[in-house]
Structure formats: C-alpha cells, structure tokens
Amino acid sequence: MDRASAYIPMDWRQAIARDETLPERAEGAALFADISGFTPLTEALARELGPKRGAEELTVHLNRVYDALIAELHRYGGSVIGFAGDAITCWLDGDDGRRAVACGLAMQQAMVQFSEVQTHSGRIVSLGMKAAAATGPVRRFLVGDPDYAIIDAMAGKTLENMAAAEHQAERGEVILHGPTAETLGDNLVISEWRQDEETGERFAVVTGLNDEVPETPWPDLSSDALSDEQQGAWMLPPVHQRLNSGGGEFLAELRPAVALFLKFSGIRYDEDPDAPQKLDIFIRQVEGLLTRYDGSLIQLTIGDKGSYLYAAFGAPIAHEDDAVRAASTALELQELASRLDYLDEVQIGLTQGRMRTGAYGSKTRRTYGVLGDATNLSARLMAAAEPGQILASQLVRDAVGESFHWSRLPNIRVKGKTELVTLFRLDKARRRQSIQLHEPKYNLPMIGRGKELAQTNEKLDMALKGKGQIVGITAEAGMGKSRLAAEVIRLAQSLDLETYGGECQSYGTNTSYLVWQPIWRGFFGLDPTGTMEEQVALLEEQLAQIEPSLLPRLPLLGAVLNLSIPDTELTATFDAKLRKSSLESLLIDVLRARAQLTPLLLVLEDCHWLDPISHDLIEVLGRAISNLPVVLILDYRPPDAQGLQAIRVSSLPHFTEIELEDFTAEEAERLISLKLRQFFGEEADVPAEFTDMVTKRAAGNPFYIEEILNYLQDLGVDPHNTELLATLDLPTSIYSLILSRIDQL
C-alpha cells in the first residue's frame, strides 16, 4: 500500500476496497497502548543534535516503535482507530478479549528491543509501554466533511471501561477490565487484581494466556485498491496536497504552534439513536471554522470524562498571527456550542510553544501530529476551565496583544509543571473601532521614501481638484508599507481630508466585507458601544439627510456594517445577486454625497488578504471615484508572491502603483544611528563594520534592520565590540530572527 492509504484505519481500508461500509454497532475489544519515554528522549536529542536534527532523529525512533507495535496489532486483525500523542486506540472486531490480550502481550515483547535507546553521545534512554483493554459493544461511525477530513469516531461504555483500565496500568503491564477477565477465566494468567478506590471496579494484570490464540492477519491490498479521492478524504488537505504533489510527507521538525483543546459533552452515545448525526453536525461546523482560520483538527477523542477536540495553528502551515487565529476560533467555537442545544457548555485551553510536528507512525498506519509540552499544557488548562471558560497561557496572551478582552486569574499548579502557571481567561474580542483614522505614532521619523511620498502628495492634489485617485503601495513584508501609509494619512489630514481606514486579516479571506466594516462604521459615525437600535436609528437619520429615497434600502448596509437589520418590504424581495449590486450602488451614492461636502481618503491595508466580496467593492468604488475628490490607498504584497491575488483596479487609468525598494546604504546607516540613539540616549558613533554587517544581513529591509538591532540589544551586544561581532551567529531570516528574539525574551 502507498503512504496515503496508511492514514486510514486498516478495517475501513479493507471495507472501502470491497465497496462496503462498516456497521455502526459492533462487539469486540478496545485496546489502548501508551508509549512512555519519548519526552526525555526528545530533550536529549534536541540538546545533542539541535532542534531540527533532533526532531528528525526522534521521529526515526518513534516510527520504529510504531512499526513494531502496529505490526503485532495487524497480525491479530486489529485496527488503529486514532492516535493521541504517543498512544494509540485500537479495535479488534468480534474479539472476546483473547486477541486483545495476546496482542498486548506481543506488543510488550516487541518493546523489549527499545528498553535501552542510545543517543549519539552515549546516553541511554528507556522506552516503555502500558496496555489496557476492555470488551463490549461500541458505536462506530464516520464524521466530518470529506473536503476537510473524515474522522473514524468510536464511542460507548466499552471505551470508558478501557480508559478506566488504563488509569490502573503501569509501564510494562497489560491490564484487562474486570468483567472481561472474569469471563475469560482460566484462559488468563493473572498476576494480581487491582481495584479503583472510587468506583470499586476491579482490573486484572495479565501476564500470559493458557491457550494459544490464532493469528488473523489482514489480507494484502493492491496499491490501486483505493482511489486518490478515497484516500484524500481521510487526511488534512495540506497533507494530501503534499503527498499528491510528490513532495513526500511533512518531515519532523520543531516549530512554534498554538494548541487548542476543547472539551464537550451532552451527546449520549449509547442511548441516543441520533448521536452520530449530532456529532457529525458539530464536527463539520468545527472543520468549517478551522478552514476559515487555517487551523488543523489533529484529534477527536471520545472518552470516559467527556469528549475532546485538539486543533493546532501554525502546523502544517504557519501564519504570522496564529495566536490571533486560535483565540478567534476559540470564541467562535464557544458560540457554536451554545447554538447546538444538545451540547453542554464547552471548556477550552489555549497554549503556545515549540512543538514536534510532522507525519509519524508505522509504514502501514500513520498520522500527522503536533506534539509537545504546549500540547500537554493546553489539555491541562482545558481540564481546569469551568464550563463556558477559555483559559490561556501567558504566551498566548502576549502574542495576541490587545485584540481581545482578558481577565487575569490566579496562578494555578498543573500536573507535569514544577512552577505555577500564569493564567488568563479569554472573554471576548475587541470591537473594531469605527472612528476616523488618526495619525499613527512612531518612535522614529520616517527614513527615505521621499520620492514615494512626493508621488502620493501629487495624487492628493489631483483628488482635491476633483480627479479621484487610487494608489497601490506594494512591497514584501517589513519594507514599510504601513509606515508610508501613515505619512500619507498625516499629509491628507493636514490638507483637511476626512480619513477612514480598515485592515485585512490573514484569516479573513472568507469573511465578506471584513476590511470595509471599520471604514463604513466610521463613515456613518456608529458608536461600537451603542445598542443595535441606537445604531440603526443613527443610520436612518444619516440616510434621510443624504437622500430620503435611500431609506428602503437601509437593511442592505447590515452586510458591510456587521449589523443585523430586519428587511424592509423592498429588500425582502431581493435575491443574493440583487442585494450585492444594490448595496454597491447604495454605497456609491452615500460616498458621492459625502465627497461633495469634503474630500476623502480611504486606506485599506494588507490587501493581499482581501476577501472576494471586498475586492469587488474596491473595484466598484474605484471606478466611481474618478470624478470625485477621493483618494483610495491600498497596500499589499506583490501579487506573484506566495500565489497572492492581483489587485484588479490596477488596470484603471487613475491607478498608480508605488513599489518600495530596499533601503540604500545611506538610509540603512541613518536608521541604525537613530535606533542606537534610542537605546543609548545620544547620537551614537556607529562603527562602519557594525553598520555594514547589519545592512548586509538585513538585505535592505528596514523592519529586519530594526529587529536585528533589537536582538543585539537583548543580548547586550556592544556595537563597538568588533571581535564579538565577528564571531556572532546572527539568524539568517526574519522568521528565525523573530523566533530567536522570542527565545531571548
């Protein structure tokens, strides 16, 4: 079988090849195998080989262990239902417990070869495993959207019994749920019985079988037994795309990521006939949210103390604002659960850190994982949260800044941490301000860009004469697009232009009118703290002043203002296409009316993340302002970078594109001098060697120059210490530089 099919449980793989479906209800044995020792091995390899090679070497060891364990499972006709960290949940259909015990004992025997793993430096790390099993009925069904990922869900009391047995197990043991052990009786060699102090349940520590258990290996499947479409439905889209493109699997690496754990309950899997449909509805909506925010659903666990979801942000695809995406998703998940009347209030934990990411498992059963200390801490915070709460670590709170409302909670102690954990509760997102733009404040004056500023000044003058202009400011990240836009705002306000602005979000490419919402809310003077009734009343007043005949179309503004406004008799008859075109016409009317009173500047930042509807509105308004005193400023990264979309208004005759170039040596020297003066409080005498080193490494990127200087300041490096500078190993990219600064801080 090829690697793609290995992402599907073996019994489902066999059924799909036969064009069959597994039954929803089944009887058999559930087996849990938990590997221990990978945490100290991770730490040892990272110290000896560095983060990258250490992660790769660790995955080699991990895969060897899984190859051995899953080979035993498949030999006894079992299937891996799911991975949870360094553990697997398995199912042996139709088994009375004997195959599960034989498999668990065979797994323990296979682990002997890993009892002493030697690292490159000669350090010995011991790996081990504990196994637990229970028998009985389960419900098993598929949930999730095939366009995102299908998940094999297994639920029922039998899994709860398995989990209870696992809690009693110790390393090197195979433990069986009491009733199963009693049924098998003399077939088992039992070394001792254990009892749960709270429930009184008994569990048997099994060391052997008196009767031989026949092997029931799975039949081989041809490499073309499953189509690419059938295989792709079971894995995350980025993983499938990478395999499909011939790029191989995502290799193991240590990378920053954000972990989100969510606990949910309320679905009665054993009793409720509609439980599969209820879970499927929830999971599909979760996957839809994660699609919007580019998060990855890593794991679904239905356990004895509730059900859990684990989602990661930053792996396999990283973004500049993964913490913001995770926090936004958490709030929407909270709201989603409240809308589904069969779910109780959810508990959510959020953490951030470096985690081991990549594909792992055996050759015959694999998964994509995001594992690490942050994963464990996120699960602990989820468990500590009250129903309806979102708890986050300090790193997440710091990463998202003031985009959300937070409450500081008392520090808590969690399992696995020697020190208290600083805790924050995520309350809600801050409303995007609907006010006019004010000149942003910068610590340093703008350096260079004189030619570009002169160009925009010329366009402002043309607009003041009734010839509307569109200016596109384009450059790679860190080149100063927002800095130049700030100077344009300052200049426009000195010329008495009313200025409004909005900012695209990387996670907002599927959210209609996201960038326009603060612009039009500011345009209409809406108070974000006002009630819905107050805001609608103000809108009615403004439209009546502009043109009373526009009032019947007022509900259309709800889409661009993020307000829920009841339809009028007129708008209730509009279909989606007519609503969109009529809204665009309405916005042109109100913009034209305001421009007759005062010239306007509209600034839209980060337009490489435009949603399609916002892009359409730019094009419509861009054409309409050609004879109005209006300037439209758009900043964006080059369209050909990372497959980013082109700005369609670039074909209009009143459009001008300004491409920001790298800093010259003189501009870089001036920035370095001003930055060091900020550090040391006086005009700095900057050695030429220092300036040359920083300028070359930054390749003329002003943001990179400032971050290198911040990095050196954090290290306490003296710019005059040329001997130290000659041996200093500076990060080689903006991404690694920022990560290095985070480590220093």
- pLDDT grade for 653, boundaries at 50, 70 and 90: very high
Judge contact between 288 and 145, C-beta under 8 A. yes
> Which pLDDT belongs to residue 668?
76
Judge contact between 482 and 662, C-beta under 8 A. no
Give mean pLDDT, residues 79-95.
94
Closest to 626 (Cα-Cα) out of 469, 471, 472, 498: 469
> Residues of the chain with pLDDT > 90: what percent?
55
Give me the numbers of helices (H) and strands (E) for the chain, helices first please: 24, 23
Residues 6+ apart with CB under 8 A from 468: 625, 626, 627, 628, 629, 630, 631, 632, 654
The HSE-up count of residue 618 (CA atoms within 13 Å, CB side) is 35
Q: Which of 129-143, 155-169, 510-524 has the lowest mean pLDDT?
A: 510-524
Long-range contacts of 278-281 (CB under 8 A, 24+ apart): 278/340, 278/342, 279/141, 279/143, 279/153, 279/155, 280/141, 280/142, 280/143, 280/144, 281/340
> Which pLDDT belongs to residue 24?
95
Q: Which of 56-65, 407-416, 700-709 has the lowest mean pLDDT?
A: 700-709
- β-pairing, 117-118 vs 79-84, is unpaired
Computed from CA positions of residues 514, 518, 521, 527, in that sequence, does the dihedral angle turn out positive or negative? positive
> Which pLDDT belongs to residue 444?
64
Angle, vertex CA 176, rays to CA 174 and CA 178, nearest 5 = 150
Arithmetic mean of pLDDT over the chain = 87
> Which pLDDT belongs to residue 722?
64
- pLDDT grade for 435, boundaries at 50, 70 and 90: very low
Is the model more confident about 31 or about 726? Answer: 31
Scanning 474-515, the segments in alpha helix (DSSP H) are: 481-494
Alpha-carbon dihedral angle through residues 693, 707, 740, 359, given to the nearest 10 degrees: -110
pLDDT per position as a tens digit, 561-590: 988 899 999 999 999 999 999 999 999 999
Closest to 628 (Cα-Cα) out of 588, 581, 584, 582: 588
**Does the pLDDT value for residue 514 go beyond 60?**
yes
> Which pLDDT belongs to residue 645?
64
- Give CA–CA dist 365/383, Å, rounded: 30
**What pTM was estimated for this model as a whole?**
0.70
- Maximum Cα–Cα distance across the chain: 98
**Does the pLDDT value for residue 433 go beyond 50?**
no
- pLDDT grade for 271, boundaries at 50, 70 and 90: confident
- pLDDT grade for 530, boundaries at 50, 70 and 90: confident
> Which pLDDT belongs to residue 241?
83
Q: Which of 134-143, 281-290, 644-653 has the lowest mean pLDDT?
A: 644-653
> Which pLDDT belongs to residue 67?
95
Judge contact between 10 and 218, C-beta under 8 A. yes
Q: Which of 123-132, 300-309, 558-567, 621-630 has the lowest mean pLDDT?
A: 300-309
Alpha-carbon dihedral angle through residues 70, 76, 82, 87, given to the nearest 10 degrees: -50
Give mean pLDDT, residues 281-310.
89
Give mean pLDDT, residues 425-451.
65
- pLDDT grade for 43, boundaries at 50, 70 and 90: confident
Phi/psi for 538 (5° steps) reads -65, -40
Neighbours of 449 (CB within 10 A): 22
Q: Which of 127-131, 271-275, 423-427, 706-710 has the lowest mean pLDDT?
A: 706-710
